[in-house]
Amino acid sequence: MQFTRLFGTSSRHATLLLKHLVLLAPLPLLTVCSEPTVDEIGAETAEPAHSNTAAVDTGYVGTSACAECHQTAYQQWQNSHHDLALQVATAESVLANQDVEIDGTRISTEEGDLRIYPNAESDGLTPRFTFGVEPLQQYVVDGGNGAWQTHPIVWDSRPQDDGGQRWYNLHGAAYPAGDPMHWQGRANRWNSQCADCHSTGVVKGYDPQTRSYQTTFEVEDVSCEACHGPGSAHVSNPGEAPLLALTSQAEQINSCAPCHARRGQIAEGFQPDAAFLDHYSPRLISPGLYHPDGQILDEVYVWGSFLQSRMHRAGVTCSNCHEPHSAELKRQGNATCTFCHQASPPDAFTAAGVATGSSGYDSPEHHLHPLGSAGAECVACHMRAETYMGVDDRRDHSFRIPRPDLSLTLGVPEPCTSCHTDQTADWATAVLAEHFGSEDREHFAIPFAAADSAVPGADAQLAGLVMDTTRPIMVRASALAKLGAYNRGYTMDAIRAARKDEPLLRFAAPLAAASLSPDRAWRLLTPLLDDDLRAVRHQTVLALLPTLQMDPVYRQRLAPHLSTWIEEQSLNLDYPETLTNVAGAHAALGNLPEAEAALKEALNLQANWVPGLISLADLYRATGRDLEAGPLLEDALALAPDYPEVAYAYALWLFRQGRLPEGLPHLEQAARLAPGQRQYAYTWAIALNDSGDTTKALTVLSSLLQRWPDDPELLIATVTMLRDQSRFSEALPLLDRLIQLQPGDQELIRFREAMRQAAAAG
């Protein structure tokens, strides 16, 4: 029996590469939507279409129509962050009042007229809109071709005593032209990164043929109808057409999530009575976004944290703490918490984590700090803050019990030593144990950290989290997604269970299939192709792309779903990520010219888009132009030397050119950079064996089998190499395991008998 040498890039390479690079999540409320194209910006470029009273056929009526009957709510909303999310730039709305020159940009505020000069040759840009008010304000300028962007030199609107009343560079430094973070780059584009959350009834209107925008909105800011839906029918007949009141937890979270979650937008036209997952694809707990214990790391906003919390499971909702129209806290200081938490805690914790004792929560016996001090605030211990955008402190909404013991083992942050900088996590652990008892409850952070570091054996614990309905839904869904690193029965059982569970678990199920064989993924995931929610269907289509190479029946079943998926990507064709995914879909359908065109357009939008370079190189290989692939991969390697996909693709290209010794170091680098990607290390082992280093190849395979003990490909490769070294007795147990996995395989049975005879002859 032979095992396959994988020195041609796999046909599933582009799909696997981009499967987890779904759309970049839009920037947050009150973030910087950067700036457009340079000096050619002229006064003739069209402004976004907008009105306070929208066209009748859209159903929107504008804020003034709501104010006629809802004066109290309207007055609370006025001058809120929602009201001031986007304003026409005037002397009154522009807060900046100083001239500055910073990172090559000069800003003038003469006579209240703000102008931004991005370079010495520029005539200056006059902002059309202000973006947010506090703790910073950004300025939206005309970028030409309908593109509107914000400049990264922003105004710190905090009081001077707090370090404010100054200009600063939001990105920390100037980026070169062509980089997405450059002031003209797509990362700062208002149309695609900012508008959907800062205005009401937004239609992006991107035209990929001209690479231009005709973005419109119904109301310029976050108006009443952004949360309650279009009001024309209600205005005409209030009694017969009530708007959604948003009184339940589910309604409020669903309405708030589109702008208060880290997500990618997959469809326009969201209304509060629609499903969040039908319009948005959220991010789960993963490295780079969250710490392994679920604490906020990158700019993930509130939704993902709150869904981890006991508050969420207890039925608490946004308006219990925040006045829904002003968005301000209903009560100040600890009263926000003690309004509900009036019982007492400090003596010890029960097994369920409930505090017991006789003193109140707002007492030194509980918070261990003098009354009125910063340490006595509930949020100091239970809502640790991160600073984003340089000056914007945002609190974690998972309301967690401090766990300095996890800081000791996993390096996650904890609140005690954030203030007591002269102390250690050991000290904090001891203090909490003295006052509240040891905190020895199991935490999902342990298997999460193990999975993120590719530690074998975490799959059983992850599957247990998925099945445990007492766990927060965000934890269960994230655990399911992390099972994508493992190819064992635990993963398959968890996917089967998730298919009939809550929406967020169904959304995560395709991610869990990342390491499964295409036939297993097909059997498990095809029921989700007909799911009610678009985000679930999208994830499923991407996960099933590799199966199209297996069987014409699979292609026939998936083709209509894939065609629909391609059509639905039209919203985001200004993203190279989307275009690269679309190219993978076209390639899977056999539409190679369309795939090539999509990849070239992705690189037109961003010349240094590394996944596009890799995927185009793979397409050249597949169409007999492999020599053209080399320069693309060399460019990608120069741009991203620590990107495992680049090292892997370049190694395979070198192998195809007959340059095996040159390719081996790159393949080793790919395997070391991505230990959870089985294919890299497996291919490295095959290459090592072909180069004559079978001993090292077997060492690599042995390590892989610790994590994927039931992988047939790994088992047959190991058995074959052991056989070739006449190590028959070592090979037999592995061959027995393989036969258990594939009972009735007569070729394997004959192979085992020959191996047994060879071992006996010894």
The verdict on residue 233 lying in a domain is yes
Q: How many structural domains are present in the chain? A: 2
CA distance 319 to 421: 35
- What's the pLDDT tens digit per position in 693-752? 999 999 999 999 988 888 889 999 999 999 999 999 999 999 999 998 888 888 888 888
- pTM for this model (two decimals): 0.86
> Which of 182, 210, 243 is the C-terminal boundary of a domain?
243
- What's the pLDDT tens digit per position in 365-412? 899 999 999 999 999 999 999 999 999 999 999 999 999 999 999 999
- CA torsion 270-276-279-283 (nearest 10°) is 140
The verdict on residue 153 lying in a domain is yes
Same-domain check for residues 233 and 268: no
The verdict on residue 160 lying in a domain is yes
The pLDDT assigned to 32 comes to 32
Q: Could you list the residue range(s) of the whole structural domain that residue 220 is in?
A: 56-243
Which of the two residues, 710 and 300, has the higher pLDDT score?
300
pLDDT band at 48 (very low <50, low <70, confident <90, very high): low
Same-domain check for residues 183 and 281: no
Q: What is the mean pLDDT of residues 573-579?
A: 96
Same-domain check for residues 183 and 268: no
Ranges of beta strands (E only) in 208-318 are 212-213, 263-265, 280-282
Q: Does residue 315 carry a pLDDT above 70?
A: yes
> Which of 395, 428, 446 is the C-terminal boundary of a domain?
446
Q: Does residue 17 carry a pLDDT above 90?
A: no
Radius of gyration of the chain (CA): 28
The verdict on residue 552 lying in a domain is no
Same-domain check for residues 214 and 273: no
The pLDDT assigned to 49 comes to 56
The verdict on residue 620 lying in a domain is no
DSSP-derived 3-state class of residue 154: strand
Q: Does residue 15 carry a pLDDT above 80?
A: no
pLDDT band at 551 (very low <50, low <70, confident <90, very high): confident
| Cβ–Cβ under 8 Å, residues 37 and 213 | no
The verdict on residue 750 lying in a domain is no
CA distance 649 to 13: 9
Q: What share of the chain is helix, strand, coil (3-state, %, to 5)?
A: 50, 10, 45
Same-domain check for residues 274 and 182: no
Q: Does residue 57 carry a pLDDT above 80?
A: no
- CA torsion 301-303-305-310 (nearest 10°) is 150
The verdict on residue 456 lying in a domain is no
Q: Does residue 611 carry a pLDDT above 50?
A: yes
The pLDDT assigned to 475 comes to 98
Q: What is the mean pLDDT of residues 61-86?
A: 95
Structure tokens at 508: 């995560």
Q: What is the per-residue burial (b if ≥16 Cβ within 10 Å, else e) of 152-168?
A: bbbbbbbeeeeebbbbb
Q: What is the mean pLDDT of the chain?
A: 88
Same-domain check for residues 269 and 229: no
Tokens 């032979």 label which residue? 2
> Which of 243, 277, 311 is the C-terminal boundary of a domain?
243
Same-domain check for residues 274 and 230: no
Q: What is the mean pLDDT of residues 41-61?
A: 52
The verdict on residue 23 lying in a domain is no
CA distance 348 to 238: 53
Same-domain check for residues 157 and 291: no
- What's the pLDDT tens digit per position in 656-710? 999 999 999 999 999 999 988 889 999 999 999 999 999 999 999 999 998 888 8
Same-domain check for residues 273 and 234: no
Same-domain check for residues 220 and 309: no
CA distance 61 to 238: 13
- HEC profile for 47-92? CCECCCCCCHHHCCCCHHHHHCCCHHHHHHHCCCCCCCCEEECCCC
Q: How many CB atoms lie within 10 A of CB 731?
A: 25
Contacts of 632 (CB under 8 A, 6+ apart): 613, 614, 616, 617, 620
Same-domain check for residues 150 and 213: yes
Same-domain check for residues 340 and 439: yes
- HEC profile for 381-450? HHCCEEEECCCEEEECCCCCCCCHHHHHHHCCCCHHHHHCCCCCHHHHHHHHHHHHCCCCCCCCHHHHHH
